[in-house]
Amino acid sequence: MPRSIYLLPLPLLLAAAMMAPLASRPPQPAPAAEEDVVAAAARDPGTMTLAPDAEARWIPFQLTPGNQVRFQMTIDGQAVTAILDTGVSFTLLAQNSPLAAKGKVRPGGQASAIGGAVAIGWMPTRTLSLGGLSRKGGGVAVAPLPALATGDATAVDLLVGRDLLAGHALDIDYAAKRFRLIASGRMPFTGATAPLVVSPERRVYESAVGLGAAKLSPVIVDTGDGSALTVTQAAWRAARLTSLPTTTAIGFGLAGPSVNDLAIAPTARLGKLTAHEVEVRIEPPQGFSESVGVAGRIGSGFLQRYRVLLDPGAGRMILAPGPQADAPAPRSTVGLLLGVASDRLRVLHVMRGGPADKSGWHEGDTICAIDGQPIPRDYVDSPMARWTVGQPGTRVTLRTCDGQDRVLTRARFY
């Protein structure tokens, strides 16, 4: 079964988590008390070098339960954990990382994120190494980076963003769980092509998507967003797909939670590629995408179906089908989005119109056993976790942690 973050219960994390694209706001006049704020235009970009053997320097990664690409790299000679995030305009260091504690962090203004605005700092760095890419000088933005926003039980140190990635081609081999940075213009594999640019306004990767009757543009291409496709309400209406059944899903960004409608679109078009059975989230009015002036986002929940080459310097992305490219989108048949901590599951969201909604489940309810089996410590990776997508019409008995047995009859509801 392909990974789908709104279906897989995650360690301490919503099963529907959305990673937050972090797009810089236009520079604002600083009040007198903030004259030392390091504005985006004043940040030292550093000097980057791509090694002659960069193509051989693959970086292994883990795909987190939230569909993020998690790996290791080094900053100032220290190993850090990181997530690949083309929806972040400036590489972001977690405020509670040991590196931030050691460095000199200055105010850096504000940035837009899912859930609202976040205050950021700016910290200079000496050296940075990522596969075949190295950088001398430069710096990183600094902000709170909770595990809820990064798709795993354990928080990471860093989100690697556009400022480090966009000067080169990014080759992500999801099936082999590895990626590399290579010279722009190279084409190491063939596949369907689609346009790709870095927008001067938002400084993130952007493309266009065909959905129903609409061509949606611009759309952020965001490897840090665990969802498949997210669109604004205006874009959803333009697509003329409002007759499709919808439910709800919740996600967490850097600035907090967001509840969206959720549907499965028959097809979506990305350049010369037509994908089938695509999970689509529809943001509420004034949601993140609308607030930063885009029609939506393409996330890792979609991209992971393919081997992907992102090369904004050459103006293109390339997608070659992977083993799960044509698999139908998995759908919840119980309507519970769950987090897992130790020996229990916690309800983080009850999907509208699902069996759980109709039988009185609520956010905060806890589950300690499924069909008589206690929740194991390896629950997320165990076959037991598939109970949320069981066959419609079948029943499951859930024992709450206060000792009650509650029966759900699975159903297809969106």
Identify the pLDDT of residue 3.
Answer: 35
Gap between the Cα atoms of 179 and 71, Å rounded: 10
Identify the pLDDT of residue 117.
Answer: 72
Among 251-260, 269-278, 362-371, which stretch is predicted with the lowest mean pLDDT? 251-260
**How long is the chain?**
414
- Could you read off the pLDDT of 108-124 as tens digits, one per residue? 777 766 656 778 899 99
Q: Which long-range contacts (CB under 8 A, 24 or more apart) does 183-188 make?
A: 183/50, 183/54, 184/311, 184/313, 184/314, 185/311, 185/313, 185/314, 186/55, 186/311, 187/309, 187/318, 188/55, 188/309
Q: Which domains does the chain have, with CATH numbers?
A: 10-182 (2.40.70.10), 192-321 (2.40.70.10), 336-409 (2.30.42.10)
Gap between the Cα atoms of 194 and 269, Å rounded: 9
Asked whether the whole model's pTM tops 0.75, one would answer yes
- Could you read off the pLDDT of 135-192 as tens digits, one per residue? 999 999 999 887 766 666 678 999 999 999 999 999 999 999 999 999 999 999 999 9
Q: Is the pLDDT of residue 205 over 80?
A: yes
Q: Is the pLDDT of residue 254 over 80?
A: no
For the segment 26-44, the average pLDDT, to the nearest whole number, is 48
**H helical segments located in 8-152:** 98-102
